[in-house]
Amino acid sequence: MSLLTTEEYKAIAAGLSFPTTAFIDGHFRPAISGKTFDTLNPATGQVLAKVAACGPEDVDLAVQKARDAFEDGRWSRLHPKDRKETLIKLAKLVKRNARELAVLESLDSGKTIYDCEQVDVPETINCLTWHAELIDKIYDQVAPASDNHIAMIVREPVGVVGLVLPWNFPLLMLAWKIGPALAAGCSVIVKPAEETPLTTLRMAELAMEAGIPPGVFNIIPGTGPDVGEPIGRHMDIDAVSFTGSTETGRRFLRYAAESNLKEVTLEMGGKNPAVVLDDAENLDRVAAHVVNGAFWNMGENCSASSRLIVQKGIKDALLKRIVAHTREWPMGDPLDPTNRVGALVSKAHFDKVASYLEKGPKVILGGKAEKGFVEPTILDTPRDAKQAREEIFGPVLSVLTVDSFDEAIALANATDYGLAASIFTSNVKRAIRGARALRAGTVTVNSFGEGDISTPFGGFKQSGFGGRDNGIHAHDQYTQVKTIWVDLADDADEAVA
């Protein structure tokens, strides 16, 4: 999609109407309590809208309606081709409203319109379409058995699912979850992050227009304690898929343990290494990948390459190129399509990220934080510094120096996280050995990335477990496997035998 001018994007923004209420059983409705909360434009501090601040009673109502929908089969037992056609229609509606969604996402999150137009919205459409097309292409199995038996292994939707979204990719993470969940036949309760509820609520309007039946797709905006915890503890929710911080992910495990032992899938934080060995080719290209990995989406990305681990012999040459590429990432008004770095999502998050820049390692580039914006920053970081160990979730790259391949891999793995990693080398054997040795769910060779919609995404260690997003594996989160054993013997005694 071609980009517009800043003035044209601002004209679109001025004409937007913001959805503000919960969506339950096919209807928009205020919170039962009548409470609201403000959602802000992080770049200006302006209040965009007052959104329904839901609570446990709203969760109860949504779960009841979702359970009714699931049990009567209006979606769960719909023919796969009919679910497919409905989700494809939803994807087409997203495409038809793509520009509006991109502007709405930028206003609510501080993300650049460049990323919203070029990455987030197109990938949302691709994700919904991909999972829709997969619905009638996942086959069940027949196990080997005797002539007197048939053993069928079938997938069934898990039931009512809570989907708890992060604020860094509101629209795309919604698609990552509802794509496979709705494809499987589940009914869903979506909790958008309180910082970024608007595009999720707009998607409810499109889902209704696409023909997703009432009760199947429900959205409950509100805080973690008021909505997230009641979802995690609800006795009639069968599974929860959560993307967010490791600290909050731990809570969902406790909620499940203390309630109905619902299935929990966690996709959480990362402190991801980009390992550059001294035989890496084309350092200019390597630098471009490192910069993109570190500063894309303002570093508010669980798979961000926040640690550059580089062999001593090429450190200076690589840093020179990294600094040059970083200067090509201008920061400013998110609705200006020439900007690549926008505002951090909230005042609280800005304060957290800025605190890592107040005192600490030597600043190679950047280091300024003001009025919600943090410059892309490169630090020459000691290994024991908190900037090298803790997930900052901002545009901050820590540079760590090593002498050897073995030292680089050991340092890359010296973290509680294990979501993503990159290795840059011209030696095929070292690339494969390194990729195998790196303890991360996704390892890219000579590039930064997360794979694509066809490849599973998720982490090792404290980056998450319980399932994967993307790919066929994503459907495992939202289905249960059942064995159906059919006895064909005529004689009862023979059947027993």
Q: Which residues are catalytic?
A: 267, 302
Q: Is 230 in contact with 56 (CB distance < 8 Å)?
A: yes
Task: Return d(Cα 453, Cα 468) in angstroms, integer.
Answer: 11
Task: Return d(Cα 33, Cα 250) in angstroms, integer.
Answer: 29
3-state helix/strand/coil string of 402-439: ECCHHHHHHHHHCCCEECEEEEECCCHHHHHHHHHHCC
Task: Return d(Cα 165, Cα 154) in angstroms, integer.
Answer: 29
- Selection from 340, 303, 295, 299 nearest residue 117 by Cα: 340
Task: Return d(Cα 213, Cα 493) in angstroms, integer.
Answer: 48
- Selection from 306, 164, 173 nearest residue 249 by Cα: 164
Question: Computed over its alpha carbons, how large is the radius of gyration of the chain?
Answer: 24
* H/E stretch holding 153: strand 149-157
Q: What is the largest CA-CA distance in the chain?
A: 82
- Selection from 402, 111, 451 nearest residue 277 by Cα: 402
